[in-house]
Amino acid sequence: MGKDVTVAVGLGERAYDILIGPGLIARAGAEISSRLPGIRTAIITDENVAPFHLEALKAGFEAAGIASSVVILPAGEKTKSFAALQEVVDAILAARLERGDAVIALGGGVIGDLAGFAAGIVRRGMSLIQMPTSLLAQVDSSVGGKTGINSARGKNLIGVFHQPKLVLADTAVLDTLPAREFRAGYAEIAKYGLIDQPDFFAWLEKNWQEVFSGGAARIEAIAQSCRAKADVVARDEFETSDRALLNLGHTFGHALEAAVAYDGARLVHGEGVAIGMALAHRFSVRMNLASPDDAERVEAHLKAVGLPWRMADIPGKLPDADALLAFITQDKKVSRGALTFILTQGVGQSFVARDVPPSQVLAFLKENHPG
Amino acid sequence: MGKDVTVAVGLGERAYDILIGPGLIARAGAEISSRLPGIRTAIITDENVAPFHLEALKAGFEAAGIASSVVILPAGEKTKSFAALQEVVDAILAARLERGDAVIALGGGVIGDLAGFAAGIVRRGMSLIQMPTSLLAQVDSSVGGKTGINSARGKNLIGVFHQPKLVLADTAVLDTLPAREFRAGYAEIAKYGLIDQPDFFAWLEKNWQEVFSGGAARIEAIAQSCRAKADVVARDEFETSDRALLNLGHTFGHALEAAVAYDGARLVHGEGVAIGMALAHRFSVRMNLASPDDAERVEAHLKAVGLPWRMADIPGKLPDADALLAFITQDKKVSRGALTFILTQGVGQSFVARDVPPSQVLAFLKENHPG
* DSSP state letters, A280-315: HHHHHHHTTSS-HHHHHHHHHHHHHHT---SGGGSS
Residues of the domain holding B160? 5-177
Q: Helices (DSSP H) in B171-249: which residue ranges?
A: 179-196, 198-213, 216-235
- Residue whose C-alpha is closest to residue B272's, from B245, B251, B292, B286: B251
Q: Give the type of residue at A282.
A: R
Calculate what percentage of chain B has a pLDDT beyond 90. Answer: 85
Q: What is the CATH number of the domain that holds A32?
A: 3.40.50.1970
Give how far A118 is from chain B: nearest CA, Å. 9
Same domain, B200 and B291: yes
Choose one of A142, A177, A212: the last residue of a domain. A177
Inspect the interface and report whether the beta carbons of B158 and A332 lie closer than 8 Å: no
Same domain, A244 and A203: yes
Which residue in A103, A124, A149, A331 has the most chain B C-beta atoms within 10 A of its own C-beta, making it the best mutation to test that interface?
A124
pLDDT at A337: 61
pLDDT at B85: 98
pLDDT at B241: 83
Is position B182 within any domain? no
Classify each residue of B31-41 as buried b or exposed e, where b means 16 or more C-beta atoms within 10 Å of its C-beta: bbbeebeebbb
User: Is A65 marked within a binding site?
Assistant: no
Choose one of A130, A157, A177: the last residue of a domain. A177
Inspect the interface and report whether the beta carbons of A94 and B153 lie closer than 8 Å: yes
Same domain, B208 and B170: no
SS3 label, residue A331: coil
Chain B residues inside the 8 Å CB shell of A335: 98-100
Same domain, A22 and A167: yes
Residue B37 touches partner A, C-beta closer than 8 Å: no
Same domain, A206 and A317: yes
Choose one of B147, B177, B207: the last residue of a domain. B177
Quick check: A330 pLDDT over 80?
A: no
User: Is B112 marked within a binding site?
Assistant: yes
Distance CA A317, CA A119 (A): 41
pLDDT at B334: 52
Q: Helices (DSSP H) in B306-350: which residue ranges?
A: 321-330
**Rounded mean pLDDT of chain A?**
94
Work out whether the CA dihedral A15, A19, A25, A31 comes out positive or negative. negative
Q: What is the CATH number of the domain that holds A363?
A: 1.20.1090.10
pLDDT at B173: 95
- Pick from A98, A148, A160: which is nearest to B120 by CB? A160
Q: If pLDDT is split at 50, 70 and 90, which confidence band does A336 have?
A: low
Distance CA A20, CA A144 (A): 16
Quick check: B2 pLDDT over 60?
A: no
Inspect the interface and report whether the beta carbons of B159 and A89 lie closer than 8 Å: no
pLDDT tens for each residue of B349-364: 999 998 898 999 999 9
In this prediction the ipTM stands at 0.91
Nearest CA in chain B to A146: B124
Inspect the interface and report whether the beta carbons of A123 and B157 lie closer than 8 Å: yes
pLDDT at B142: 81
**Rounded mean pLDDT of chain B?**
94
**Catalytic site residues of A?**
124, 146, 188, 229, 239, 243, 247, 250, 254, 269
- Pairing type for strands B339-344 and B350-356 reads antiparallel
Mean pLDDT confidence for B154-169: 95
C-beta of residue A277 within 8 angstroms of C-beta of residue A341: no
- Pick from B93, B152, B238: which is nearest to A151 by CB? B93
Inspect the interface and report whether the beta carbons of B125 and A238 lie closer than 8 Å: yes
The Cβ-side half-sphere exposure at A235, using a 13 Å CA radius, reads 11
Quick check: B306 pLDDT over 50?
A: yes
pLDDT at A332: 46
Nearest CA in chain B to A161: B124
Least confident of A8-17, A341-350, B37-46, B60-69: A8-17
Quick check: A329 pLDDT over 50?
A: yes
pLDDT at A90: 97
Which residue in A40, A93, A121, A155 has the most chain B C-beta atoms within 10 A of its own C-beta, making it the best mutation to test that interface?
A121
A178 backbone dihedrals φ, ψ, rounded to 5°: -60, 145
Same domain, A155 and A173: yes
More confidently predicted of B234 and B303:
B303
Same domain, A169 and A216: no
pLDDT tens for each residue of B18-44: 999 999 999 999 999 999 999 999 999
Same domain, B196 and B84: no
Q: If pLDDT is split at 50, 70 and 90, which confidence band does A172 have?
A: very high
Nearest CA in chain B to A99: B335
Distance CA B128, CA B120 (A): 8
pLDDT tens for each residue of B98-146: 999 999 999 999 999 999 999 999 999 999 999 999 999 999 988 889 9
Give how far A219 is from chain B: nearest CA, Å. 31
Contacts of A75-80 spanning 24+ positions with Cβ under 8 A? A75/A46, A75/A47, A75/A48, A75/A49, A75/A110, A76/A46, A76/A110, A77/A110, A77/A150, A77/A155, A77/A262, A79/A46, A79/A110, A79/A111, A79/A114, A80/A110, A80/A113, A80/A114, A80/A148, A80/A149, A80/A150, A80/A155, A80/A156
Same domain, B134 and B193: no
Mean pLDDT confidence for A164-177: 94
Quick check: A1 pLDDT over 80?
A: no
Same domain, A251 and A142: no
Q: How many domains does chain A have?
A: 2
pLDDT tens for each residue of A92-126: 999 999 999 999 999 999 999 999 999 999 999 99
The string of DSSP codes covering A202-232 is HHHHHHHHHHHH-SHHHHHHHHHHHHHHHHH
Same domain, B90 and B236: no
Assign residue A58 a region (left: φ > 0; alpha: ψ between -120 and 50; beta: otherwise). alpha
pLDDT tens for each residue of A36-90: 999 999 999 999 999 999 999 999 999 999 999 999 999 999 999 999 999 999 9
SS3 label, residue A50: helix
User: Is B155 marked within a binding site?
Assistant: yes
- Pick from A123, A157, A238: which is nearest to B122 by CB? A157
Same domain, A244 and A173: no
Interface of A with B in 330-349 (CB under 8 A): 332, 335-336
List B167's β-bridge partners, or say none: B18, B130
Is position B183 within any domain? no
